[in-house]
Amino acid sequence: MNRYAIGTGLLLLIMAATASAEAIYISDRLEAPLRRGEGTQYKVLRMLKSGEALELLERRADTGYTRVRTRSGTEGYVLTRYLMPGPAARERVDQLNKDNQELRGIIVDLENRISELEIQNRDQGTQITQLSDEKSDLDTELSGIREATADVIAIKRNNQTLSDEVALLTEEKNRLQVDNENYRSRTKQDWFVRGAGVVLLGVLIGLVLPKLRRRKRWSDI
């Protein structure tokens, strides 16, 4: 990916340079002299190698020279016949090989990236499957909890009903106990009254019966 970015940056720089100035190249000669002026009498500033890129400044058809500037900024004159509009064949081949290597590197990077994405996709598919299974388990558990909750609510309602019934029975028991106590109290009173009546009756009989006997004896005499 870095190679791709570097290649793109170099391409943009080259395009920007060609937009501002026309580029020319030394032909397939081994070397060409860059002179200070137009003619062999002028000093050679440096020797230009085959395929070297130059910036075209001025063409002089009358002298057969062209004024150029090197990449290092040196300006001078070189015979026009040593120049050509494009890189030398050898330079083009080298550049194509370099570009080919860059493209191969980009392809390898892209293939690796595709492999990584495929692995991530498989992993995500596995995760999705796992999440689906977990969701199903949670749904089942939730259904169980809801059923258990419903049972608890029903049990609670039944307990409340039983509690109400127990309260009613307890109240009825208390009422019966009160009635029983009242009945016992009344029974005791009745027996007391009856006992008192019997005693009183006995006393009366004890008092009246002797008198009746005496009267009977007097009547017999």
Q: pLDDT tens digits, residue range 92-107?
A: 666 677 887 888 889 8
Q: Does an H or E element contain 90, and which?
A: helix 89-220
Boundaries of every domain in the chain: 2-87
What is the token pair recorded at 212?
């009746």
- Give the C-alpha separation, 53 to 68, whole Å: 10
Per-residue pLDDT of 137-153, as tens digits, reads: 888 888 888 887 777 77
Cβ atoms 33, 83 nearer than 8 A = no
What is the pLDDT, as a whole number, of residue 219?
Answer: 61
Q: Biggest alpha carbon distance in the chain?
A: 214
In this prediction, residue 134 has a pLDDT band, given cuts at 50, 70 and 90, of: confident
The C-alpha atoms of residue 25 and residue 78 are separated, in whole angstroms, by 11
46-59 residues labelled b (16+ CB within 10 A) or e (exposed): eebebbbbbbeeee
Query: Which architecture, in CATH terms, is 2-87?
Result: Roll (2.30)
Q: What is the mean pLDDT of the chain?
A: 79
- Is the whole model's pTM more than 0.75, yes or no? no
Sheet holding 53-60, edge to edge: 44-49, 31-35, 75-79, 65-69, 53-60, 23-26, 83-84
What's the pLDDT score for residue 19?
A: 44
- pLDDT-above-70 percentage for the chain: 79
- Report the C-alpha gap between 131 and 174 in whole angstroms: 62
Checking DSSP bridges between strand 65-69 and strand 31-35, what pairing results, if any?
Answer: unpaired
**Cα distance between residue 15 and residue 169, in whole Å:** 104
